[in-house]
Amino acid sequence: MNDLVQVVDWSRAQFALTAIYHWLFVPLTLGLGVIVAIMETLYYRSREEKWLKTTKFWMTLFGVNFAIGVATGIILEFEFGTNWSNYSWFVGDIFGAPLAIEGILAFFMESTFIAVMFFGWKKVSPKFNLAATWLTAIGATLSALWILVANAWMQYPTGCEFNPATMRNEMTSFWAVACSPMAMSKFFHTVLSAWTLGGVFVVGVCAWMLLRKRNVDHCWRSMKVGAWVGVIGIVLTSITGDTSAVTVAKYQPMKLAAMEGLYKGNHEQSIVAAGILNPAKTATNDEDPYLFDISIPYGLSFLATHDPHAFVPGIEDIIAGKSYDNEGKELNTVSYAERIERGKQIQELIVQYDVAHRTGNNVMEDSLHKAINDDFKYFGYAYLDTPEEAIPNVPLTFYTFHVMVTIGGYLVAFLLLALLFVYKPKLVNEKKCSKLWWWLCIITIPLTYLCSACGWIVAEVGRQPWTIQDLMPNKVAVSALSASSIQVTFWIFAVVFTALLIADISIICKQISKKSKEDLG
């Protein structure tokens, strides 16, 4: 058992390591791809040499980031087969479909047109080169779409049915998987946040150049595009964040409770604007959940349901199976203890089904098949030892959620100011605070990365201990490997990925420094 725990922990750590490094490259690729395409469009329409130089400057940075992001992404997909083979076997028919589409359609699309985008300037017409640039940006976005569809299915498994004859989940509706509410909210929220990062990156790099008084006109041109994309991105990210909260409240209430450190829910539930959790608090004691908190009345009820009077369950309510309508009437829900029992009953039915299947008892087989699928949504709970095992890491989920929201609020104000200063540069210069503002622009780049990373931590840690929500906990999904072998590959990946990150930052910084000294018009 101890070795199993280590295998699970190290497998999770390795996947998290790969995902974190991969995500350092992906959002910048998505954001810069759109920005470069807009700049080339401006060049195509104006045919001004200055826009061509500006386009090529940002295209170089896009290309460096794109190349290294691909390397980490390929390793991430391989880990499903190496470290999570039970998971891959159990739901490979479903999970593999969007990943296959991503590889065959989207990835080949972007990897094909990126060659024209970079090397077609004197070989194809300007219109075709522009089309290739937009298709590269669209291809990168489509890659994100299918990967996020696969991830969203793990958060909210739909469009599938369990086949006890093969002991696998099989897809019943591709469109239910591809267009689930979780998939759509996750896709738009993630991609639009990448636009925000792309906009902040352009503003920050231009700020560095303006501090050194290099290519001033180029910087103001670039900042205008970057600020607009960033503002549109952060406004729409905020809107889709609201949609994501409603989706999480409906399909993953335990995650929402962890995001707020909420143990006992209520009607007209307030939301914690800022607070410090009580480390002694658990679901089995009566300690106060917060050492300190500042709350907004009705906030969480409105965020979760758009009804300020609605009941929002806390961790203890969810475990006990308690929920109430607006009149205070208790709703029919299933406690976690009962879910565990139902899950064990399903396992017993599967054993009986196997006997009926092998003996050719078709009547019994059909009856058992129906009984299994009626309650299969509780199948994964059979692997839990206690109801409390289904509680995610509350402190990590709570703090990362609030850091994400805080930085997100700051980014709204920052990008609106950046857009204002682009059109009214005298507001910065006349107040003699331009140096302070440019440094703030530079510092905002890592802050935006932190905000993006916190969002993913909330999404993934908040659904623990599940690999597939309610159907497969982590300890069942892992491969039959030794903990020591995973530790070895973990440290190898840590060294390689760190080297790639250092190389990426180094090359980008050198390119910025080198190109900024050239005449960019």
- DSSP character string of 446-509: HHHHHHHHHHHHHHHHTTTTEEETTTEEHHHHS-S--HHHHHHHHHHHHHHHHHHHHHHHHHHH
**Are 366 and 495 in the same domain?**
no
Interatomic CA distance for residues 52 and 122, integer angstroms: 13
Q: And the tokens for 392? A: 């995610």
pLDDT in tens, 60-76: 999 888 877 777 777 87
Q: Which helix (H) or strand (E) holds 274?
A: strand 271-277
The yes-or-no verdict on residue 193 having pLDDT over 80 is yes
Asked if residue 417 is part of any domain, the answer here is yes
Asked if residue 247 is part of any domain, the answer here is no
The yes-or-no verdict on residue 3 having pLDDT over 70 is no
**Are 298 and 447 in the same domain?**
no
Per-residue pLDDT averaged across 364-368, rounded? 86
pTM here is 0.91
The yes-or-no verdict on residue 116 having pLDDT over 80 is yes
What is the structure's pLDDT at 430? 62
**Are 428 and 316 in the same domain?**
no
The secondary structure of the chain in percent helix, strand, coil, rounded to multiples of 5, reads: 75, 5, 20
Q: And the tokens for 507? A: 């090359």
- If one counts the domains in the chain, the total is 3
**Are 107 and 189 in the same domain?**
yes
**Are 361 and 474 in the same domain?**
no
pLDDT in tens, 468-481: 999 999 989 888 88
**Are 485 and 404 in the same domain?**
yes
What is the structure's pLDDT at 315? 93
Task: Tell me if residue 162 falls in helix, strand or coil.
Answer: strand
Q: Which of 273, 289, 320 is the last residue of a domain?
A: 320
What is the structure's pLDDT at 432? 66
Closest CA to 461 of 258, 183, 284, 277: 258
Asked if residue 327 is part of any domain, the answer here is no
**Are 350 and 225 in the same domain?**
no
Contacts of 408 (CB under 8 A, 6+ apart): 234, 237, 238, 241, 451
Q: Which of 320, 350, 365 is the last residue of a domain?
A: 320
Rounded alpha-carbon distances, angstroms, from residue 495 to 26, 375, 491: 20, 45, 6
The DSSP symbol for 104 reads: I
Residue 377: phi, psi to the nearest 5? -60, -15
What is the structure's pLDDT at 348? 92
Lowest-pLDDT range of 29-33, 331-335, 346-350, 366-370: 331-335
Asked if residue 330 is part of any domain, the answer here is no
The yes-or-no verdict on residue 388 having pLDDT over 80 is yes
pLDDT in tens, 497-507: 899 889 889 98
Per-residue burial over 376-398, b = 16 or more CB atoms within 10 Å of its CB, e = otherwise: bbbbbbbbbeebeebbbebebbb
What is the pLDDT of the chain when averaged over all its residues? 89
**Are 8 and 41 in the same domain?**
yes
Per-residue pLDDT averaged across 266-293, rounded? 90
Contacts of 362 (CB under 8 A, 6+ apart): none
What is the structure's pLDDT at 2? 58
Secondary structure, 3-state, 166-191 = CCEEEECCHHHHHCCHHHHHHHHHHH
What is the structure's pLDDT at 336? 93
What is the structure's pLDDT at 431? 60
Asked if residue 238 is part of any domain, the answer here is yes
Per-residue burial over 34-46, b = 16 or more CB atoms within 10 Å of its CB, e = otherwise: bbbbbbbbbbbee
**Are 383 and 405 in the same domain?**
no
Is 388 in contact with 319 (CB distance < 8 Å)? yes
**Are 140 and 209 in the same domain?**
yes
pLDDT in tens, 394-431: 999 999 999 999 999 999 999 999 999 998 887 777 66
225 or 515: which carries more pLDDT confidence?
225
Range of the structural domain that residue 89 is part of: 2-175+182-242+396-461+463-516
What is the structure's pLDDT at 414? 96
Strands 290-296 and 271-277: antiparallel
Confidence of residue 484 (pLDDT cuts 50, 70, 90): confident
pLDDT in tens, 135-149: 999 988 998 899 999
Asked if residue 248 is part of any domain, the answer here is no
The yes-or-no verdict on residue 30 having pLDDT over 70 is yes
Tell me which amino acid residue 230 is.
Answer: G
Asked if residue 12 is part of any domain, the answer here is yes
Confidence of residue 327 (pLDDT cuts 50, 70, 90): low
What is the structure's pLDDT at 1? 52
Asked if residue 98 is part of any domain, the answer here is yes
**Are 50 and 124 in the same domain?**
yes
**Are 414 and 360 in the same domain?**
no
What is the structure's pLDDT at 418? 93
Closest CA to 39 of 210, 228, 193, 215: 228
What is the structure's pLDDT at 361? 85
What is the structure's pLDDT at 76? 79
Q: Which of 320, 347, 370 is the last residue of a domain?
A: 320
Interatomic CA distance for residues 151 and 467, integer angstroms: 10
Count CB neighbours of 276 within 10 A: 14
Lowest-pLDDT range of 108-112, 286-290, 366-370: 108-112
pLDDT in tens, 244-265: 999 999 999 999 999 999 999 8
Q: And the tokens for 81? A: 């087969």
Confidence of residue 446 (pLDDT cuts 50, 70, 90): very high
Count CB neighbours of 104 within 10 A: 11
Q: And the tokens for 487? A: 């530790």
